[in-house]
Amino acid sequence: MDKPISALHLSASGMRAQSERLRHTAENVANADTPGYRRKLVTFEEAVRFGRPTGEVEASKVRLDQKELPRLYDPSHPLADKEGYYLGSNVDLVIEIADSREAGRSYEANLKMFEQTRQMGASLLELLRR
């Protein structure tokens, strides 16, 4: 990270990745009561361009949580089987709230880094003008 522009790229990539994570967390929360819904998981990996690692981070393909879906008893539910059970969602709202807080804080940290790098560049230009 010898150039300020690369610091800006790194911070921006972190913000994009955390934004993707927040979006999927919001989808999970919105579908917490959807029967048969599987929680979406996002992991990060280092970006590679032209066969070389860039140091930037990007969200990988979305994976579905393979944790078993809970069986809920409600004979009046349209998806219930003969015994009155249907498959619920494997979304845990406590985990989703924790994930969204972590992603939000990481986004803020990358934003602060972006702003500080930009301010340092502006200060340097100001010094060079004198």
Per-domain residue ranges of the chain: 4-124
User: Residue 1 above 50 pLDDT?
Assistant: no
Measured over all CA atoms, what is the biggest interatomic distance in the chain, rounded to whole angstroms? 82
21-46: average pLDDT: 95
The 8-class DSSP code of residue 19 comes to H
Q: What is the pLDDT of residue 52?
A: 86
Tell which wins on pLDDT, 52 or 87. 87
Nearest alpha carbon to residue 35 among 66, 71, 75: 71
Q: What is the CA radius of gyration of the chain?
A: 21
Return d(Cα 10, Cα 112) in angstroms, integer: 12
85 CB burial (10 A radius; 0-12, 13-18, 19+): middle
Could you tell me the pLDDT band of residue 3, with boundaries at 50, 70 and 90? low
Could you tell me the pLDDT band of residue 5, with boundaries at 50, 70 and 90? low
Could you tell me the pLDDT band of residue 91, with boundaries at 50, 70 and 90? very high
Could you tell me the pLDDT band of residue 101, with boundaries at 50, 70 and 90? very high
Mean of pLDDT over the chain: 90
